[in-house]
Amino acid sequence: MFRLKLKLAVVFLAALFAGFNSGLAFAVNAPLEIAPATSASSVASQGSPRQKDLEEHGLSQRAQEIARPFGFPITNSMVVCWIVALGLIIFAQVATRKMKQVPEGAQNFLEWLVEGLYGFLEGIIGPHLVNRTFWFFATIFIFILSANWVGLIPGVGTMGWGHETFHGFRIDQPFFRGANADVNLTLAMALVFFACWIVWGLREVGPLGFLKELFAPKGESTGLLKVLLAVVFFAAGCLEIISILFRPVSLSFRLYGNIFAGENMLETMANMVPGFGWLLPIPFYFLELLVGVVQALVFMLLTAVFTMLICQHETEGPATAHD
């Protein structure tokens, strides 16, 4: 359990560092533009300030910079990412500080969660592979789920700088933003998995086995059929390489798109009927709680299956999980 505790703390710190660096690479605010002088007709066509206030303003597609200490940009999604990572590290420390033979409280919950995830993954990728990769898959599930649910806490996206409108106060620059509603974090997690996937594949099957898994013909064949299958599987391997290169993109945008859409929906419901912004989003909050679990599970399962497909030997498969 001590090794599990240490690995969880290390990986949470790695996620913290990944979010830190991804924000540095991608979090750049658009510069303010000064509107040029326009004719009276063009001003009239833009509408009055009241009409502008009536327009619907959805969530910004990228995180907004809220501070720049020593020239380093810090965005609102990075702050939530750090809060989630720090909270998980503290919880892991508290739950494993005084271990008991009969667990209770936080230790009981953590052991239930870890054992449940371990058994679930063992039935999918097998006992050998789960021993090597469980630390990553469990951490990525817990971190994504926690980040998704923290993004639903009242105040995330609704506290910040703004201005008065005819329908009340409108937030222009929120202090907090859902961590997974920023494509920088989801892409960073996908790229970290891609690097781990390469290392696991090379360690399990070796460089030659890695290439055979991609390009070598499967099954037994002879004569002309063997040559034909070699050509077909080589072409399929080239397509598989393209598919592998797009996996980080698909993983990151799937998670980002679902969480970003959910936050936009909640904001739309809150602004739809003035005076009832506290009531309309309530049913959708329960939906987003479910979406948070589903998206964390989908990300974990897809990465686990991708790993199993490249690491399984030709004579072994997922059926060996129950041997």
Among residues 199, 197, 203, 288, which one has the least CA distance to residue 251?
A: 197
10 Å CB burial of residue 274 (0-12, 13-18, 19+) is: exposed
Q: What is the pLDDT of residue 184?
A: 93
Quote the tokens at residue 282: 């309530």
Q: What is the pLDDT of residue 313?
A: 59
Q: What is the pLDDT of residue 5?
A: 47
Q: What are the residue ranges spanned by the domains of the chain?
A: 2-27+55-322
Q: What is the pLDDT of residue 167?
A: 64
Q: What are phi and psi of 33, to 5 degrees?
A: -110, 135
d(Cα 152, Cα 294) in Å, to the nearest integer? Answer: 15
Name the amino acid, one letter, at 33: E
Among residues 318, 285, 50, 306, which one has the least CA distance to residue 167?
A: 50
3-class DSSP assignment, residue 168: strand
Residue spans of alpha helices (H) in 151-281? 183-215, 223-272
d(Cα 137, Cα 146) in Å, to the nearest integer? Answer: 14
Q: Is the dihedral of CA 303, 304, 305, 306 positive or negative?
A: positive
In angstroms, the Cα distances linking 289 to 127, 159, 178, 259, 285 are 31, 21, 13, 11, 6
Contact call for residues 65 and 73 (beta carbons, < 8 A): yes
pLDDT per residue as tens, the chain (323 positions): 445 444 554 444 454 444 444 444 443 333 333 334 444 444 344 444 444 443 445 677 888 888 899 889 999 999 999 999 999 999 999 999 988 888 888 999 999 999 999 999 999 999 999 999 999 999 999 999 999 999 999 888 778 787 777 766 677 788 899 999 999 999 999 999 999 999 999 999 888 888 888 888 877 777 788 788 888 888 998 998 999 999 999 999 999 999 999 998 988 888 787 777 778 888 999 999 999 999 999 999 999 999 999 887 554 444 444 44
